[in-house]
Structure 1
């Protein structure tokens, strides 16, 4: 059976006053330390004693001492309160300077192309920040999974997310290996894809993604067929390099293969242009300094890229 729990209001009220009086053995000196009047300290301690149900101090006109209940309360309350203060200091520090663990959800394909050089310079600039990269193709709930931000292609971002560009727009291109084309003609028009083995991508929602094209400004989707289905672009790229079939992939992923001629691009005039890759995070009023530092670093790198 589900139990009902309630949070006791004011559970810590008076504890700081009690600890100060116990340390100084004086209500007057405790009041001076905390910047309040002696009567305010006395009232706070009386309320605490009433809530606990036991006297914590023995008071005379000349001295203040701890009762047995006060001694026992002090032995447990002092380290607990000091730990609470320390926890507050740690949290305050993370809220005031770039430090702590920065968790990013990133698709595998973006790590070598975009993140490796960016992360290297960021870690050098902010040594107090630890960066954790979780490579995943799923569009996860950042807040629910404990991530500070994610990286995705622009067309997959929800409208309520704040997006910062990591790359310029780029085309989605169709490529195959020279070995694949040894026994097949290169496709010249979209209908030629019916005669080819096409590698397919299964989205995180389970649906098979069609291949998309741009025919003189007209968007076209084609349900292709082939021997392999993968849920990430690097697997498709590896299969294309091995001659398994044609793959439609982001141009930055295949740039090196095209340069070294281990890949051949086809259907160039039909390549659609995608918005690019973005760093995204939930819209919120206060951004932790560690994430703000990363966002500013990303923007500065983008400014430098545009200048060069």
Structure 2
């Protein structure tokens, strides 16, 4: 008895995710059912396809060979099915996008409601994750990240204005401890440090007149979320280095003020990016077209493709 198409697709998802739990979540099945399906597939083929440990799963040599052979075929099948959607004139299927938390929040506010209303047959899977992932290996159609984080081999277009990170503090904190004049002054301050998804601590980056400085700031508090760092700064716990968007309302109200602003340059803003060597599925093309619409472009702060 030959394996089913569903079994082979499930094998590719397990291989990409390196985890039965994550693959089961993506496929909408239980972990035990997926594990049983993979053992049945191995029995049918008479080969061990997966190395299993208590913490991870990975393809064996035979599994890697099978994966290399079936992946192009499955991709061609997706393209053929997507072409049928083009013939119907209505995008359907699924669209998987990975984005930072801030980018996901922006899309939910200004893009997703219009997209889901306009294309009800598309299942949109928007995954917010601080970690940078390989969108091809992880099975995403596209990603949204700040421009400096987008891989060079991707097709990318900006969907918003340039972006800044700012050093901010509560007025009461500055009344007590003074205002830093240059980045090195931060060594004499209480700073709210940031833990990156990789586990390392972020070194605050400043730039002025071509001079670039990265400061490993001192501080008794380390957080891993922009919004939490903003809250801590408002409470007077120290100086935080956060996204301008995360602090904008509090800056307008005066509950936070900027320091070292002339050392905080702008960087390329959010980009939508996707592989250039792949067929662009109709749900993604529809998403891109929506980003180009004037009212969406303006809401995102400058717009797609400018």
| Segment of structure 1 superposing worse, 223-232 or 261-270 | 223-232
- Which deviations, in whole Å up to 9, do the C-alpha atoms of 1:106-152 show, x marking residues without a partner? 21122334542122222233222232221110111212322221111
Structure with max Cα Rg:
1
Unaligned runs of 5+ in 2: 4-77
> What SS does the aligned partner of 1:183 have?
helix
Match of 2:200 among 197, 202, 207: 207
Whether the 8 Å CA contact 2:160–2:302 is kept in 1: the answer is no
The 1:285/1:133 distance shift into structure 2, 3 A limit, reads closer
Equivalence for 1:195: 188
Equivalence for 2:253: 260
Partners of 2:80 and 2:302 in 1: CA distance: 40
Match of 2:114 among 113, 121, 135: 121
- 2:207 aligned with 1:221, yes or no? no
Equivalence for 1:139: 132
Partners of 1:163 and 1:91 in 2: CA distance: 22
Whether the 8 Å CA contact 1:212–1:272 is kept in 2: the answer is no
Q: How much has 1:169 moved relative to structure 2?
A: 0.9
CA RMSD of aligned residues (A): 2.8
Equivalence for 1:15: none
Whether the 8 Å CA contact 1:108–1:234 is kept in 2: the answer is no
Equivalence for 1:287: 280
Partners of 1:143 and 1:266 in 2: CA distance: 40
The 1:213/1:229 distance shift into structure 2, 3 A limit, reads same
The 1:242/1:94 distance shift into structure 2, 3 A limit, reads farther
* TM-score using structure 2 length: 0.65
The 1:114/1:179 distance shift into structure 2, 3 A limit, reads farther
Partners of 1:163 and 1:115 in 2: CA distance: 20
The 1:186/1:113 distance shift into structure 2, 3 A limit, reads farther
Whether the 8 Å CA contact 1:113–1:252 is kept in 2: the answer is no
Equivalence for 1:169: 162
Equivalence for 2:297: 302
The 1:89/1:191 distance shift into structure 2, 3 A limit, reads closer
Which runs of structure 2 are paired with 1:52-131 in the superposition (5 Å)? 92-94=83-85, 96=87, 97-131=90-124
The 1:204/1:306 distance shift into structure 2, 3 A limit, reads closer
Unaligned runs of 5+ in 1: 8-86
Q: How much has 1:288 moved relative to structure 2?
A: 0.2
> What SS does the aligned partner of 1:124 have?
helix
Q: How much has 1:204 moved relative to structure 2?
A: 3.0
> What SS does the aligned partner of 1:162 have?
strand
- Which deviations, in whole Å up to 9, do the C-alpha atoms of 1:238-271 show, x marking residues without a partner? 3223322211122222111111222111111111
